[in-house]
Structure 1
Amino acid sequence: AQRDVLVALDPAVRRDLPDSVHRMRVATRRLRSALRTYGRVLDRAATAPLAAELKWLAGELGLDRDHEVLAERLTAALDALPETLVTGPVRTRLRLWSASRRAGARSRVLAVLDGGRYLALLDALDALTARPPLRPAAGGDPAEVLGRALGEEHARLTAALDRALALPPGPAR
């Protein structure tokens, strides 16, 4: 399903539709998570390179998204300041800086989507869904095998959440 989301979002990202880059990045993270979750039934030797490519794509998409978030935060912080503390054309400079950075990030995302590496990733996802590299465990009772895989992923997620909640409030949390 996330492979279809990724493909469906491609034109939206190219047309620079709102939130499309973020949604495509989320789809790549979900695909990586699914590969990890079903590692019990999918051959990791075959899926690990695919997971690495999904991580690469998420990173490339993240540059654009991270800039977008930074610009929003800087604008909000500027808006929160009393006008008497804002001297000179600060808002104009922020807008120009943001537009320049955004154009650069946008060009990079478009180059990635036009590149052979991205197209090879899409081909690899298609191959995975057409001929999944199943491990011997996949021949067992599906309810048991998948239930165990989901249980392990749930335990991993719960442990990560517990570690995060044990941290004091702040950016490290």
Structure 2
Amino acid sequence: MKQFFYLTSLFIILILSNYVQAYDNIAVVNIYDLLQKLPKKTNFTKKIENEFKIRANELKIQEGNLKDKLNKLNRNKSVMKLTEKKQLEKDIIKQQNIFSLKAQKFEQDRRRCQIEERNKILIRIQNAIKKIAKKHNYNLILDSKSTAYVSNTKDITKEVLKNIK
């Protein structure tokens, strides 16, 4: 009976020690904070702005031309011939359709580029986290913003930021 009690106690101690050991191998990282502090983030927004600057300027010019035609129509519609007025209205509608299609395509391309650049940054962050996890033998690393409550865990955000630079 003593042996059974001794073996049961030993078994419970071994199980609890595994839990305690696993608890020591948990860390948190603040992904949002990393994205805000990452210097490459500012470069990626500048890169996107430069890449789409020409197209944005073209859209502004096209929008200005469209507004000029609308103003011309509104000012002169009382003195214009009916055929001339209808032709200008058709031209304006055609240009509005072309403008809206170009604007939609521009926004889609810009959004796609932003997502691609953000994903590149997230991959770099994830690789840095994996490297730190292997270095310190962490079993679990959580995003601190996605957990309800965490106490007494190691925050590796600063270490990840250093590894990314």
TM normalised by structure 2 equals: 0.36
Greater Rg, structure 1 or structure 2? 2
Structure having the larger proportion of residues in strand: 2
